Copies of this chain bind each other. A is one copy, B any other.
Amino acid sequence: MSHEQHQNLIDSLHECAVACNHCFDACLKEEDVKMMAECIRLDRECADICSYLEHALSRNTPFAAELAAVCAKICEACGNECKKHDHEHCQKCAEACFKCAEACKSIA
């Protein structure tokens, strides 16, 4: 599939990476940081793999399907952790993660 055909996935990956980075920053500013430790860890992992895949797709990587399969797993894990927390940044992040996981699965 070409760069253009991946446009929806590229957009979902970008939104997810930004949401995860925003959640990472916000979690570090919460009163109870200890409770957010796993969220912080997964936000970083998810932001990084989404950013990786987004740019790999935009340069027509031959490994789109394999990378998308891993990315979907990481997005789901991050979304599952985020949705446990009531903070708005966590809820928004969970939503972006689940949407991105579905988009990844469509090419995995």
Contact = CB atoms under 8 A, between A and B. Distances in A.
Q: What is the predominant secondary structure among interface residues of chain A facing chain B?
A: helix
Given A28-B37, A33-B34, A34-B32, A22 B63 contact: no
State the copy count for this chain: 4
A4 to B, nearest CB: 9
A87 interface: no
Given A14-B14, A28-B37, A37-B29, A63 B55 contact: no
Interface string A51-92: 110011011111100110110011001000000000000000
Interface residues of A, number: 43
Given A34-B33, A37-B33, A55-B17, A25 B60 contact: yes
